[in-house]
């Protein structure tokens, strides 16, 4: 109940705003990268910063620390917790609600429950999560698919997400899912990828075929390099340079590798297709045709403070 969501460029509105209003900011194993902080000149200047990390070189690297606690967090957190005075902070917790409601109305509900139009990435992510009872291991590639998965996939178990974070390594998803299958052979593994990232390492379908790996591949196909297109649309006058994609028949490619698959373009077909994927013994590629020019919101524009998040398209200029 005290988890208020994700920080950063495409994180949750309330968490970003409250980071810049809190009295004390406790960072655990955090490097304060630019995708989380936004403009460092305006990031949490009001807060006393307590930084827990095992690596001394991370301290004061990006954000000035008032108190550094160096060591294994498993030990240091336990030691510090013993000295804390219990407080419910009811008023502070209540203060999140306005921003949470604003984000739900403007972003979350339209993404997860669109009244009409094409399938959205978010509704696919949540539908798969629900179908697995939130017990699957999530693996992501890079791009809009990654952000949507981070925002809308839910978990009930530890060690349940593998992603390349802010490194931007397109093509990461498929080989990583193969690795996860060996590390967690008894769990359902769901890979979310886009049409751009999948083609960068699509040859690894051969490894899946040879090793008989059980990976569920959910291809969110929007016929674009979606994240780059989003920036081009918002900040570069819709000059879509090198982002529109002409795609092959991915289901036929999977079939050539002996992998079952299916394409879905209608919302009413999605639940049946997800059930077919999860009930299939072995690998499965589910291609879902999603809205071509969908956007990942909220979004902090480059160079802005994380409190100035876009909830919808505005007059955006760099």
pLDDT profile of the chain (318 residues), mean per 10: 89 94 95 92 95 97 96 96 91 94 96 95 98 98 98 96 92 98 97 98 98 98 97 94 97 98 98 98 98 96 91 60
Say which residue the tokens 């004061």 belong to: 60
E strands of the chain, at which residues? Answer: 24-28, 48-53, 67-70, 137-140, 161-162, 189-194, 216-221, 260-264, 284-289
Cis peptide preceding 13, ω within 30 of 0: no
Query: Taking the CA of residue 8 as centre, how many other CA atoms within 13 Å lie in the half-sphere pointing to its CB?
Result: 15
Q: What is the pLDDT of residue 94?
A: 94
Q: What is the CATH number of domain 13-97?
A: 3.40.50.1220
Q: What is the pLDDT of residue 317?
A: 44
Percentages helix, strand, coil for the chain, rounded to the nearest 5? Answer: 40, 15, 45
Q: What is the pLDDT of residue 166?
A: 82
Superfamily of domain 118-289: Thiamin diphosphate (ThDP)-binding fold, Pyr/PP domains (3.40.50.970)
Task: Tell me which residue of 208, 151, 174 sits closest to 11, measured CA to CA.
Answer: 151
Q: How many Cβ atoms sit within 10 Å of the Cβ of residue 191?
A: 27
Q: What is the pLDDT of residue 2?
A: 84
Where do the CATH 3.40.50.1220 domains begin and end in the chain?
A: 13-97
Residues 235, 233: Cα–Cα separation, whole Å: 6
Q: Tell me the backbone φ, ψ of residue 307, rounded to 5 degrees.
A: -85, -15
Q: What is the pLDDT of residue 313?
A: 65
Q: What is the pLDDT of residue 314?
A: 56
């Amino acid at each position: 109940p005290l988890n208020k969501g994700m920080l950063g460029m495409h994180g949750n509105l309330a968490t970003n705003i409250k980071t810049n209003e809190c009295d004390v900011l406790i960072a655990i194993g955090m490097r304060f990268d630019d995708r989380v902080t936004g403009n460092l000149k305006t990031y949490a200047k009001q807060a006393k910063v307590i930084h827990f990390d095992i690596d001394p070189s991370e301290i004061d690297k990006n954000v000035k620390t008032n108190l550094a606690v160096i060591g294994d967090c498993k030990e240091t957190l336990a030691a510090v917790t013993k000295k804390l005075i219990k407080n419910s902070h009811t008023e502070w917790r209540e203060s999140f609600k306005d921003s949470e409601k604003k984000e739900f109305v403007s972003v979350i509900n339209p993404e997860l429950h669109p009244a009409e139009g094409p399938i959205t990435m978010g509704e696919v992510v949540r539908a798969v999560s629900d179908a697995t009872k939130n017990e699957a291991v999530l693996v992501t590639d890079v791009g809009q698919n990654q952000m949507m998965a981070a925002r809308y996939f839910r978990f009930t178990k530890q060690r349940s997400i593998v992603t390349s974070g802010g490194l931007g390594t397109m093509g990461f998803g498929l080989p990583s899912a193969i690795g996860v299958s060996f590390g967690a052979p008894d769990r359902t593994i769901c890979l979310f990828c886009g049409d751009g990232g999948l083609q960068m390492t699509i040859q690894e379908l051969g490894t899946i075929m040879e090793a008989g790996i059980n990976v569920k591949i959910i291809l969110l196909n929007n016929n674009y390099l979606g994240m780059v297109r989003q920036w081009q649309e918002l900040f570069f006058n819709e000059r879509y340079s090198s982002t529109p994609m002409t795609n092959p028949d991915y289901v036929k490619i999977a079939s050539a590798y002996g992998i079952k698959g299916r394409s879905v373009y209608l919302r009413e077909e999605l639940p049946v297709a997800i059930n077919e994927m999860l009930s299939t013994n072995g690998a499965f590629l589910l291609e879902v045709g999603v809205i071509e020019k969908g956007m990942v919101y909220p979004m902090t524009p480059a160079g802005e403070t994380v409190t100035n998040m876009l909830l919808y398209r505005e007059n955006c200029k760099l």
